[in-house]
């Protein structure tokens, strides 16, 4: 089998508001083969920069568009293709955009392999640890502590027993920070897990004070309290609190995860399959974490392609902790983009059993929303 086409498709709603809404646009990668089998991937990054990294021309030995490199290759050779893409972009992306773009291609290749063999991706990865995976409903905070409490109650009513709130207005002042967590706990009740995503707002000492205060509300983890590059701050923080500290969504490729684990000493390693280097790299990151006694979780705030990829990966490693799931069923791009609409049941997501990723595009959505 040979790869015949690599397409980076940018989809965007006609009106995109300046808000932290993950359902307004998407960069989807489609890889086609001469066997008539195609695969899907996704990249959550700067969409047109990713498209340029894929569509761009060959420039010289260590800078090349990715599509140029993979055309004509056998999609089963994912490890070889990963290194071919990496080595041919030493100038333009040992971290960041090029690794993000590689993730979308790698994901699509695993989808093709699964479809060709009639097996779900997790089976090719050697998985089979679970039949379903516990998920948490992932949400932004309400504008006020009281609104946050109300949101928590609604997720509880929908059957979730783990809920995460994140970002604004966390970080504005101590009193608001503490009230947000207190009201979230009140809305959730005592018998559910509460996860807090601070959103990169503090220095290490402030984060330690907040972690100690939030411990009274028995939070499951405190995510990204510090700037992504503050590995020394992460180390000081994790050594000083019993609250689990989670981070990782800003990292790309296993070497940057080594910094987070060995310098930053975080307690939970978060991996976004659409940015870390795809399945090929995510398996290695999970292994590095396992060797250090660390659990991992996915990061995913975009489409159901990302969630499906995460379920295959989490089902293929021994140290999966929990699955992030954006549980908003609005008529945004996420709900329209794919034929499969994922739903949690009693706080769990079923492991997909169809060949490949098990997710297909709704072609009408591509026609309607594709802008590049």
Sign of the Cα torsion 3, 120, 345, 134 reads negative
Is 197 a binding residue for Mg ion by CB under 5 A? The answer is: yes
Stretch that binds Mg ion, among 9-17, 37-45, 195-203, 305-313 (CB under 5 A): 195-203
Number of residues that bind Mg ion (CB under 5 A): 1
Return phi, psi of residue 6, to 5°: -130, 120
Return phi, psi of residue 126, to 5°: 85, 20
Task: Report the alpha-carbon angle 218-220-222, nearest 5.
Answer: 100
Measured from the CB of residue 197, what is the shortest distance to Mg ion in angstroms? 4
> What proportions of the chain, in percent to the nearest 5, are helix, strand and coil?
40, 20, 40
Is 324 a binding residue for Mg ion by CB under 5 A? The answer is: no
Nearer to Mg ion by Cβ, of 54 and 314: the residue is 314
Nearer to Mg ion by Cβ, of 149 and 199: the residue is 199
Stretch that binds Mg ion, among 75-83, 127-135, 141-149, 193-201 (CB under 5 A): 193-201
User: In whole angstroms, what is the distance from residue 58 CA to residue 6 CA?
Assistant: 15
Nearer to Mg ion by Cβ, of 119 and 200: the residue is 200
Nearer to Mg ion by Cβ, of 106 and 197: the residue is 197
Asked if residue 270 lies in contact with residue 6, where contact means CB atoms within 8 angstroms, the answer is: no
Task: Report the alpha-carbon angle 67-336-156, nearest 5.
Answer: 115
- Per-residue contact track with Mg ion, 153 to 192, x per CB under 5 A? ----------------------------------------
Measured from the CB of residue 3, what is the shortest distance to Mg ion in angstroms? 33
Measured from the CB of residue 125, what is the shortest distance to Mg ion in angstroms? 25
Which two three-digit tokens encode residue 71? 């055309």
To which H or E segment does residue 4 belong? strand 3-12
Measured from the CB of residue 138, what is the shortest distance to Mg ion in angstroms? 8
Nearer to Mg ion by Cβ, of 300 and 355: the residue is 300
Three-state secondary structure call for residue 36: coil
Asked if residue 222 lies in contact with residue 198, where contact means CB atoms within 8 angstroms, the answer is: yes
Measured from the CB of residue 362, what is the shortest distance to Mg ion in angstroms? 28
Is 21 a binding residue for Mg ion by CB under 5 A? The answer is: no
Residue ranges that bind Mg ion, judged by CB under 5 A: 197
């Amino acid at each position: 089998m040979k790869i015949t086409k690599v397409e980076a498709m940018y989809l965007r709603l006609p009106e995109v508001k300046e808000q932290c809404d993950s359902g307004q646009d998407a960069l989807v990668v489609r890889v086609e083969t001469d066997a008539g089998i195609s695969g899907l991937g996704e990249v959550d990054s700067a969409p047109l920069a990713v498209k340029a990294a894929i569509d761009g021309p060959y420039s010289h030995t260590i800078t090349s568009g990715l599509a140029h490199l993979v055309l004509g290759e056998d999609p089963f050779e994912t490890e070889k293709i990963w290194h071919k893409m990496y080595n041919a972009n030493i100038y333009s992306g040992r971290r960041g955009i090029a690794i993000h773009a590689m993730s979308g291609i790698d994901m699509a290749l695993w989808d093709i392999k699964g479809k060709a063999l009639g097996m779900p991706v997790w089976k090719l990865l050697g998985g089979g640890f679970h039949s379903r995976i516990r998920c948490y409903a992932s949400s932004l905070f309400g504008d006020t502590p009281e609104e946050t409490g109300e949101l928590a109650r609604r997720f509880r009513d929908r059957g979730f027993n783990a809920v995460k709130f994140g970002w604004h207005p966390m970080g504005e002042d101590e009193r608001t920070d503490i009230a947000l967590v207190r009201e979230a706990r009140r809305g959730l009740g005592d018998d559910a897990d509460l996860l807090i995503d601070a959103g990169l707002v503090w220095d290490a000492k402030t984060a330690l004070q907040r972690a100690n205060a939030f411990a009274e509300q028995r939070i499951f983890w405190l995510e990204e309290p510090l700037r992504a590059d503050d590995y020394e701050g992460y180390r000081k923080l994790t050594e000083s609190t019993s609250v689990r500290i989670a981070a990782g969504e800003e990292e790309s490729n296993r070497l940057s995860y080594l910094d987070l684990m060995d310098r930053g000493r975080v307690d939970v390693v978060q991996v976004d399959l659409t940015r870390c280097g795809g399945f090929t790299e995510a398996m290695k990151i999970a292994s590095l974490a396992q060797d250090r006694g660390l659990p991992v979780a996915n990061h995913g705030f975009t489409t159901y392609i990302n969630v499906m990829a995460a379920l295959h990966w989490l089902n293929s490693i021994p140290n999966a902790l929990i699955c992030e799931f954006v549980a908003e069923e609005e008529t945004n791009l996420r709900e329209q983009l794919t034929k499969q609409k994922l739903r949690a049941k009693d706080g769990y997501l079923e492991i997909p059993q169809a060949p490949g990723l098990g997710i297909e595009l709704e072609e009408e959505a591509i026609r309607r929303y594709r802008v590049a």
